[in-house]
């Protein structure tokens, strides 16, 4: 087994969070009398953290202070409603169980705020990750390699024995910047043709294919 550690993105990779994100976006926009967004628009906006999601969702040309207010409204609402409609993708739970039974380490690196990452991991995958890192002070947001490097340091695994698994162009570049191989899933928030144009090389259509890569 070449890999000892599987590092997963969260949104669009192991959890389908899109509806809760869209609901929070539109709640915040509505509270500030801005036009709401479609779920497909929100799908395109996600991937670079909550602040960037809000900046993309609000009307163009807003002052920073206005964006700050929308961001605060979003954050308060989402923290209370981040698991209303969110669900694990089919096959992820048994994948994690089998990887861990085979002795693999598992981790999460997300651009989602750490105060949302931790409860979501506990709620849906309690005890199945050795470490989880969300956006927090002192750690650069993906595609910066900071969080991935923190996982490698914490779990004492060399980059050559770890792989980053995600669903977006941000994840592809994060793996490159951290010196890791990547596996890109096709069930997430971006389509394969776009991901291929962004440098994606190894794709999986089912969680079972990740297991085959690790355990073959």
| Residue 79, token pair as written in the block | 């923290």
9, 23, 167, 181: which one is catalytic? 9
Q: Which residues pair with 162 in a beta bridge?
A: 5
The span from the CA of 117 to the CA of 59, in Å, is 27
The span from the CA of 50 to the CA of 114, in Å, is 11
9 has catalytic annotation: yes
Contact status, residue 168 vs residue 109, Cβ threshold 8 Å: no
In 3D, which of 140, 106, 146 has the Cα closest to residue 126?
106
The span from the CA of 158 to the CA of 94, in Å, is 26
Q: Residue 164: is it exposed, middle or buried by C-beta count within 10 angstroms (0-12/13-18/19+)? A: buried
The span from the CA of 56 to the CA of 167, in Å, is 19
Which residues are identified as catalytic? 9
């Amino acid at each position: 087994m070449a890999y000892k550690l599987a590092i997963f993105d969260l949104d669009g990779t192991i959890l389908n969070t899109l509806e809760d994100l869209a609901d929070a976006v539109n709640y915040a926009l509505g509270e500030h009398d801005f036009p709401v967004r479609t779920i497909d628009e929100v799908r395109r906006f996600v991937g670079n953290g909550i602040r960037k999601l809000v900046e993309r969702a609000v009307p163009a040309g807003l002052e920073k202070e206005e964006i700050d207010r929308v961001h605060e409204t979003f954050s308060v609402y989402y923290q209370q409603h981040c698991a209303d409609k969110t669900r694990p993708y089919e096959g992820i739970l048994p994948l994690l169980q089998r990887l861990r039974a085979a002795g693999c380490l598992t981790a999460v690196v997300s651009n989602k705020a750490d105060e949302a990452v931790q409860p979501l991991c506990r709620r849906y995958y309690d005890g199945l990750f050795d470490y989880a890192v969300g956006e927090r002070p002192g750690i650069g947001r993906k595609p910066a390699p900071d969080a991935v490097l923190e996982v490698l340091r914490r779990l004492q695994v060399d980059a050559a024995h770890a792989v980053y698994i995600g669903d977006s162009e941000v994840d592809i570049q994060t793996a490159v910047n951290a010196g890791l191989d990547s596996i890109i899933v096709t069930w997430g928030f971006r389509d394969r043709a776009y991901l291929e144009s962004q440098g994606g090389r190894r794709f999986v259509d089912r969680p079972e294919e990740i297991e085959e890569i690790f355990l073959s």
